[in-house]
Structure 1
Amino acid sequence: MDLALLTTLNAERAARRATVLITHLSSGAQHLLRASEIATDPLAPQLEAALRAGKSGVVGEGDGRVFLTVHVPPPRVVVIGAVHISQALAPMARLAGYDVTIVDPRTAFATAERFPDTTVIAEWPDTALPDLALDPFTALVALTHDPKIDEPALEAALLADCFYVGALGSRRTHAKRLDRLADRGLSPALLGRIHAPIGLDIGAANPPEIAVAVLGEVIAALRKPAPAREAAA
């Protein structure tokens, strides 16, 4: 790999932007594609599948065979609310390979004792989220039921194009939430990205089961193409 290509790759990785290094096996020629450039590439379906899976490999045939070296940031889950569901979700998400951060301004709940081995930020989302730099490889899960805490976080996640945005609450609660978020200037298209009621419909009846449902929905949002997610909903 030449120095200019390596410099660009390192800069993209430092900025938590996904890239694919394409190596032509017949010639050894290489070029780098950013995620934003993939849609117009002839190999777009294979490139998109490789990014979703986070796996490198060979695609194409004959002289057109190329090796795709996939570079994706580690996926993260930012949980708004240091609640019982969060206590179950945090270790599950870590086992699944996600970095986990808990954000909750309520210092009685947001403690290291309640969330061992997990980053806990006892701040309001307005204060905490800018430093976390939400991005398309971040899932945001809002669980407090408190509009003052959840809704600024939901807005930030939608504007940052987080790959998953979910919020706890009934359909009636969510309808009122959508009205308030619309009043903040968010478009119907953005608001339609919120998963609510949160989690896969598995009949979850307690906090650990709800955590399983939420994590399953997060994984599906990361790994499945949009049409497949919609068909499974």
Structure 2
Amino acid sequence: MTAEPGACAVAHGETEEEPPGRTLVAVFASPVSRYLLAYAADTGYRTVLFEPDLARTAEGCDLRTALPELDAGTDVVVTDHHRPELGEVLRAALAGAPRWIGVLGNPRHPGPHVAALTALGVPAADIARVHRPVGLNIGSRTPPEIAIATLAGLLADRNDRPGGFDFP
């Protein structure tokens, strides 16, 4: 396998390469969002935490209590699928123009976002834009592992590589 031009030099710190400009919006403060935002910042993402409940906020991040503008350079990851405002937040995200939207959750269980969005009258085609499961299938179980799997999938997609989100 041949390396891309300059990849070795970048890996050895001999030169710097800027990753494509992207924003990662982690939705809801959670143990996973804390790791996801930290790791994403290290890989060149501009990171934002959207948390409407100030009692659940985290320190040390760009915190928003209103969903920021979601453009074609934005990836959105919902890190807590048990929150009652899940459907409303996803409907608002779908109304924007984010590049990618995903909801964390066990792939062996139905995604609660489908029922929540259906109840709000969101068309099936829009609901299908929400990815679930999220991340690469590496058997992750802990918050740091889930964040790594999620970010690895986003990086593969960002770099147009077949990292994949499929779970057989």
TM-score, normalised by the number of residues in structure 2: 0.76
1:152 match: 88
How far off is 1:73 after superposition?
7.7
Q: Distance in 1 between matches of 2:163 and 2:97?
A: 17
Q: Distance in 2 between matches of 1:173 and 1:81?
A: 20
Q: Distance in 1 between matches of 2:71 and 2:20?
A: 10
CA contact (8 A) 1:78 1:101 kept: yes
CA contact (8 A) 2:49 2:63 kept: yes
Aligned match for 1:166, one of 77, 91, 102: 102
By percentage of residues, which structure has more helix? 1
1:76 match: 23
Cα RMSD (Å): 2.4
Larger radius of gyration: 1
Q: Distance in 1 between matches of 2:39 and 2:113?
A: 28
2:146 match: 210
2:124 match: 188
User: Is 1:120 equivalent to 2:56 in the alignment?
Assistant: no
Aligned match for 1:136, one of 72, 85, 95: 72
Q: Which has the higher contact order (CA 8 A, sep 6+)?
A: 2
In structure 1, the gaps of 5 or more residues are 1-71
How far off is 1:83 after superposition?
0.8
Secondary structure of 1:135's aligned partner: coil
How far off is 1:134 after superposition?
0.8
Q: Distance in 1 between matches of 2:95 and 2:156?
A: 21
**Matching residue's letter, 1:74:** G
Task: Sort the Cα spacing of 1:186 and 1:220 in 2 relative to 1 into closer, same or farther, 3 A.
Answer: farther
Q: Distance in 1 between matches of 2:70 and 2:84?
A: 19
Q: Distance in 1 between matches of 2:83 and 2:57?
A: 18
Q: Distance in 2 between matches of 1:210 and 1:106?
A: 23
Q: Distance in 2 between matches of 1:218 and 1:173?
A: 22
In structure 2, the gaps of 5 or more residues are 1-18
How far off is 1:81 after superposition?
1.2
User: Is 1:86 equivalent to 2:38 in the alignment?
Assistant: no
How far off is 1:135 after superposition?
1.0
**Matching residue's letter, 1:136:** A
Task: Sort the Cα spacing of 1:87 and 1:195 in 2 relative to 1 into closer, same or farther, 3 A.
Answer: same
**Matching residue's letter, 1:152:** E
Secondary structure of 2:152's aligned partner: helix
By percentage of residues, which structure has more strand? 1
